Amino acid sequence: NAGVTQTPKFRVLKTGQSMTLLCAQDMNHEYMYWYRQDPGMGLRLIHYSVGEGTTAKGEVPDGYNVSRLKKQNFLLGLESAAPSQTSVYFCASSSSFRPNTGELFFGEGSRLTVL
């Protein structure tokens, strides 16, 4: 019972490098999200998707791009990494039947350090 799986779990980048974080869910959820978690800031929404082929901006979208080519996958890309993007990134998914009850299912996080 995998739930939400994030890869990679750890990554170190140099400023200016690019990378992609992959999120996969096996619960057939319509909605998927990318959050970042920083000390003292809580979780902040980067981008989200309400279905295959759709994406939308969240609270802190600058410097990130996303794609949802398949329902089960949600990719987060950093085109030119900056030290300010050092963070723990969480992917989450939720059912379209109860999107507003707060039942998000989170992955275990991807720790990114940008030097």
Partner 1 sequence: QKEVEQDPGPLSVPEGAIVSLNCTYSNSAFQYFMWYRQYSRKGPELLMYTYSSGNKEDGRFTAQVDKSSKYISLFIRDSQPSDSATYLCAMSGGLNAGGTSYGKLTFGQGTILTVHP
Residues forming the site for partner 1 (CB under 8 A): 4, 31, 33, 35, 40-45, 48, 50, 58, 90, 92, 94, 99-104, 106-109
The smaller minimum CB distance to partner 1, of residues 31 and 64, is found at 31
Query: Is the bond preceding 8 in cis, omega lying within 30 degrees of 0?
Result: yes
The smaller minimum CB distance to partner 1, of residues 15 and 54, is found at 54
Exposure string over 68-101, b if 16+ CB within 10 A, otherwise e: beeebbbbbebeebeeebbbebbbbbbeeeeeee
CB of 115 to partner 1, least distance (A): 21
The smaller minimum CB distance to partner 1, of residues 17 and 95, is found at 95
CB of 98 to partner 1, least distance (A): 8
